[in-house]
Amino acid sequence: MRRGWKMALSGGLRCCRRVLSWVPVLVIVLVVLWSYYAYVFELCLVIYLILYHAIFVFFAWTYWKSIFTLPQQPNQKFHLSYTDKERYKNEERPEVQKQMLVDMAKKLPVYTRTGNGAVRFCDRCHLIKPDRCHHCSVCAMCVLKMDHHCPWVNNCIGFSNYKFFLQFLAYSVLYCLYIATTVFSYFIKYWRGELPSVRSKFHVLFLLFVACMFFVSLVILFGYHCWLVSRNKTTLEAFCTPVFTSGPEKNGFNLGFIKNIQQVFGDNKKFWLIPIGSSPGDGHSFPMRSMNESQNPLLANEEPWEDNEDESQDYPEGLSSLAVESET
């Protein structure tokens, strides 16, 4: 009886957690819908409406794609077979378990390791993690090229939707900037008392305030992710240096500025601004700087960009209010 109550309570808590996880998304949607109503129906700035709607469509489109594009998980070949899983589970000697994983990893394109040099293994998903893959405790799955879990889209940002997330940030910045600049002249009229409508005064004041507030926070976040893209890093890799079979390497995936951008947006520049999947590869393996140098010796003499901050080998439980991630 007690066990049944515990299971019911656990199920209820999970249900509440799933419902509450949509609250940040609902807040953003309500703010955006209000801004649309205030700008289009209350202020009715006709000469600005065409460009406003173009920006709004791309903003809404990229936000939708960020929310509803499912995180991509490792394919079946990275999962332990039933036989291997049982062998691993029943083996009590850690050194033997470690060697078993090493033998299994030889058949897979994995080149990153844990801080102590062991094969990266997820004991919850029972799989050998591909390079740049991490386990998200919020989504309860391993996510390919995981960047972070974002509560504002209620989704894990990784290989399948990182491009859409970047575009969402870019169009959000543009949306806020456009509203702030076009409403500013009406704010001056409000300040001088030249706006006759009390309701218009309210919308002008809060449109400018909300647009400026979101613009400042978004431009900082967008700038940070642009820096990450320029170095071909994820948020997790910026906090914790990736460890390869040859040892830790901050710039292990850095291929050069242009190639780093192409790793997210693809080779075809026509698709860079459109929220359509164009990232190269399948998310299970990625070109590395060491391989690039062997093909192009000139890169070996290139000075790597150094980070000033110390980077721990253990992944943090939480990254920020905008990036929540827990990893095995």
Kindly list the catalytic residues. Answer: 150
Tell me the C-alpha distance between 258 and 231, whole Å. 10
Q: Would you say the C-alpha torsion 14, 161, 326, 97 has a positive or negative sign?
A: positive
Tell me the C-alpha distance between 50 and 52, whole Å. 5
Token digits of residue 180 = 């702030």
Token digits of residue 109 = 């394109």
Token digits of residue 44 = 């009715």
> At 255, phi and psi to the nearest 5?
-105, 0
Tell me the C-alpha distance between 175 and 278, whole Å. 24
User: DSSP secondary-structure letter at 309?
Assistant: S
Tell me the C-alpha distance between 23 and 241, whole Å. 33
